[in-house]
């Protein structure tokens, strides 16, 4: 099975062509990563085309699409999901959404904390034990999250911190974005079983910055 994997939940734009065998782990045939916190719309489509070209495949060769659901900032996350839905609808392909943090945690043993940038001086985070999510996703101030870690915190100690906001909680930089094979690994059971995908519901975790304008003010004449 040939799968197109996309994620725009972080400042890192990911697109990859992944082979999912009947058994065993998915294998990335080609991937493109681009960096641009506010350029997702401009960078994603070329990344998809470049990944397909490197893999020597076309959109007609694809069997499914997998997209990261976030959590992530509103505009960037929406670009990836709209693109995935458009490709899936246009080609008649099943399009599965998976939590971006789950993809970052795929295949990572031990106690893991995934932390991604939420802007507004906050981070999105999830905690995992051997790849299974035990807490989150939630949004917090970095200092508040750091206080919950360690022997005295309710989240306990962790062995590794990954994500583009790892440094905001005092950890070294590690795995700034999900890999295409990690995204597909989270959806592998559903893909192999031919399970009908649910709707692509983004994990925003909070309201967007942009809001509809209010009603015009009434002008009172004397």
DSSP state of 120: T
2-101+177-193 and 104-169 share one CATH topology?
yes
Topology, domain 2-101+177-193: Nucleotidyltransferase; domain 5 (3.30.420)
- For the segment 91-109, what is each residue's pLDDT rounded down to a tens digit? 999 999 999 999 999 999 9
User: Domain 104-169 has what CATH class?
Assistant: alpha beta
Q: How many CA within 13 A on the CB side of residue 76? A: 25
* For residue 11, pLDDT beyond 80: yes
pLDDT reported for residue 207 = 57
Q: Where are the domains of the chain?
A: 2-101+177-193, 104-169
3-state SS, residue 53: helix
CA 45 from chain centre, in angstroms, equals: 17
Q: Residue 42: which pLDDT band, with cuts at 50, 70 and 90?
A: confident
**For residue 76, which of 179, 202, 189 has the smallest C-alpha distance?**
202
The confidence band for 210, taking pLDDT boundaries of 50, 70 and 90, is very low
| Cis peptide bond N-terminal to 13, omega within 30 | no
Task: Kindly state the DSSP code that residue 185 receives in the 8-state scheme.
Answer: H
State how far the Cα of 101 lies from the Cα of 70, in Å rounded to an integer: 7
pTM beyond 0.85: the answer is: yes
Backbone CA torsion sign across 125, 131, 133, 135: negative
């Amino acid at each position: 099975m040939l799968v197109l994997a996309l994620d725009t939940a972080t400042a890192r734009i990911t697109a990859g062509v992944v082979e999912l065998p009947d058994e065993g782990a998915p294998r990335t045939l080609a991937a493109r990563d681009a960096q641009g916190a506010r350029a997702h719309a401009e960078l994603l489509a070329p990344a998809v085309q470049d990944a397909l070209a490197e893999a020597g495949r076309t959109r007609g060769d694809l069997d499914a699409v997998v997209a990261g659901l976030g959590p992530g900032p509103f505009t960037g996350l929406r670009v990836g999901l709209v693109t995935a839905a458009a490709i899936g609808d246009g080609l008649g392909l099943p399009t599965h959404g998976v939590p971006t943090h789950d993809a970052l945690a795929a295949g990572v043993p031990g106690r893991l904390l995934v932390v991604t940038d939420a802007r507004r001086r906050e981070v999105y985070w999830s905690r995992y034990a051997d790849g299974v999510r035990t807490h989150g996703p939630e949004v917090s101030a970095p200092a508040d999250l750091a206080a919950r870690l360690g022997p005295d915190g309710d989240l306990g100690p962790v062995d590794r911190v990954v994500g583009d906001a790892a440094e905001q909680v005092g950890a070294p930089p590690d795995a700034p974005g999900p890999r295409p094979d990690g995204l597909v690994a989270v959806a592998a059971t559903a893909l192999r079983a031919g399970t009908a995908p649910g709707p692509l519901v983004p994990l925003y975790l909070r309201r967007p910055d942009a809001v509809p304008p209010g009603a015009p003010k009434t002008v009172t004449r004397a």
